[in-house]
Amino acid sequence: MRQKQVNTFQTGISLTGLILILAVLGVIAVFALKLLPTYFEYGAVKDAIVRAKEAGGTPREIQVAFDKNADMNNVTAISGRDLTITREDGGVEVSFAYEKRVPLMGNVSLVIDYAGTTDPSGVVAAKEDPAPAK
């Protein structure tokens, strides 16, 4: 009587593969822990310019309203002085643009450019630079 031979294949992951996958997941987690706070701060800035626009008034009053809201939300990347406030078609539009530098390791950093506006067209107004000193 002859027995039938059954081929069995083992499937799974090796210890080396597991270590490699865990290392990749660790690097992704470190990036997420460093980048997510800047994204949340950007969201708080966008919300603050909407609230400042709703407060209305002079450009200085809009800046003060922004600073109060930004202070409550622990925003440190930008202040009311950094906003670009324009009057178009009888309405006020508030814009901002800033750069956030996130140190990753050693002398390696990641630079992220954030910009936003209350203008329905989505065009961010450029901040006017003061005249260069001679």
pLDDT at position 72: 92
d(CA 104, CA 16): 26
pLDDT at position 132: 53
Residue numbers in the chain where pLDDT is lower than 50: none
The pTM of the full predicted model, rounded to 2 decimals, is 0.75
Task: Give the phi and the psi of residue 41 in degrees, each rounded to 5.
Answer: -65, -40
pLDDT at position 124: 77
Contact 31, 13 (CB under 8 A): no
pLDDT at position 130: 55
Helix H or strand E encompassing 103: strand 91-105
Nearest-10 Cα torsion for 37, 40, 45, 46: 150
pLDDT at position 51: 92
Helix H or strand E encompassing 81: none
pLDDT at position 133: 52
Contact 111, 103 (CB under 8 A): no
Mean of pLDDT over the chain: 86
- For 3-34, the pLDDT digits (tens) are 677 677 777 888 999 999 999 999 999 989 99
Structure tokens, 101 = 């530098």
